[in-house]
Amino acid sequence: GAVVSQHPSRVICKSGTSVKIECRSLDFQATTMFWYRQFPKQSLMLMATSNEGSKATYEQGVEKDKFLINHASLTLSTLTVTSAHPEDSSFYICSARDWFQPQHFGDGTRLSIL
């Protein structure tokens, strides 16, 4: 079945640093990738949708300059949390699909900002 790899699985860093999270589709070409944020015991909140080679579409209330998304190829999208602060601590999940697949999810990244 389709596999989506997300890296790193966990990151702890100091306030003010930038953190990059990678999302790769391993056995299919992802025409669209999605980035979600999830707080404990809550549902997934869509942050942005990215299509290969074009700018990401951000959901209302999501800061574009804070959460930089790059979808440079059909198999890779990255989310960079810039100048991260403790309130950015959360669980971030990516997903990917092509025209034929439902969304398949990465294993998520637990981000902790000290």
Partner 1 sequence: AQTVTQSQPEMSVQEAETVTLSCTYDTSESDYYLFWYKQPPSRQMILVIRQEAYKQQNATENRFSVNFQKAAKSFSLKISDSQLGDAAMYFCAYRSGRETSGSRLTFGEGTQLTVNP
Cα dihedral across residues 10, 81, 5, 106: positive or negative: positive
The residue (of 45 and 82) whose beta carbon lies closer to partner 1 is 45
Distance (Å, rounded) from C-alpha 5 to C-alpha 107? 7
H helix count then E strand count, the chain: 0, 11
Q: Cβ closer to partner 1: 63 or 107? A: 107
Footprint of partner 1 on 44-83 (CB under 8 A): 44, 46, 49, 51, 57
**Residue number with CB closer to partner 1 (9 or 15):** 9
Q: Tell me the CA distances in angstroms from 68 to 16, 40, 92, 99, one per residue in order.
A: 15, 23, 13, 25
Using CB under 8 A as the binding rule, whether residue 17 contacts partner 1 is answered as no
Which residues lie near partner 1 (CB under 8 A)?
32, 34, 38, 41-44, 46, 49, 51, 57, 91, 93, 95, 97, 102-105, 107-108
